[in-house]
Amino acid sequence: MHSRIAAAVGLKHQPVALLWSEEKPAEAMQFEPGKWGCVMWLAASAAKGRPGVCDRETFGCFGGGVGAGFGNQYANFPGGEECFCRFLSTGNADSADGRQAAEAMRPFVRPEFVEHFLHGERYLQSPEKVEQFIASLPMTEIPARYLLFQPLTAVDPAQQTPQTVVFFADPDQLSAMVVLANYGRGDNENVFIPWGAGCQTVGIYPYREALRERPRGVVGLTDLSARLYLRRQLGDGLLSFAAPWSLFQEMEENVDGSFLQGDTWQALLAAKGQGE
């Protein structure tokens, strides 16, 4: 399937469809069981043309398991959820259990992970704030074996129904998608930016939006760690825009006759050397 939105805004990378599937393509990128990896690498792989896939044994990191829709994987974090709450905030160095967990994992993980585990990523103010963050997440157990990241061009909507379509967009393109998501709605709050892992903003948050009568678009890749991990794959200056399938279809239908064919948008494209 080709996207009119992608063509109109001049995306560098093709859109990515997220599908719940019982099967996986033979050529799909997949992490080995128990090996660390960032789920957003799977999305980046699909944006560049090769599908990616994960399941309950191959989601790469505990936050990735949550973001993909494999339940509350923070409970399985080294030292349990309590150690995760300290890891994301102030660190485990002052906890005997945390220090013990750090020493046990040291032979198996990257040195920087142990450093972050002990001294904290400091993305939230305190372990208590992390507890509140976890409680607020739309935890999901997807009803399929695999989460598949597929280039949208490889999807046949007559045979498959994506859950979400993800665009990797620069500021101009993201602005256009925000306008387009609101274009036919009659109000102006049809896109939001949650704080969370990169995978959560393309996975469980759009999954939740898909259950709403009027799903909203989800802006993501504000996760600093994911931004660092994706620089080599996709380059700098991009954010993600995730549209639940019904919103994606609505936006696709609204391209023709919209501002995307008007002179202001064309002038922005021309300024980047992409105009007609």
Each residue of 89-100: pLDDT tens digit? 999 999 999 999
Cα distance between residue 112 and residue 240, in whole Å: 26
Q: Are residues 254 and 171 in the same domain?
A: yes
Q: Are 78 and 117 in contact (CB under 8 A)?
A: yes
Q: Is position 226 within any domain?
A: yes
DSSP character at residue 78:
T
Q: Are residues 47 and 153 in the same domain?
A: yes
Residue 259 Cα to chain centre, angstroms: 27
Lowest-confidence region among 1-5, 34-38, 125-129, 198-202? 34-38
| Final residue of a structural domain among 115, 136, 157 | 136
Helices (H), 56-152: 62-68, 80-87, 96-105, 111-119, 127-136
- Containing structural domain, residue 109: 72-136
Q: Is position 93 within any domain?
A: yes
pTM recorded for the entire structure: 0.95
Cα distance between residue 229 and residue 225, in whole Å: 6
Please write the tens of the pLDDT for every residue from 22-67: 999 999 999 999 889 999 999 999 999 999 999 999 999 999 999 9
CA distances from 137 to 152, 180, 205 (A): 27, 27, 8
Q: Is position 141 within any domain?
A: no
What total of structural domains would you count in the chain?
2
Q: Are 264 and 233 in contact (CB under 8 A)?
A: no
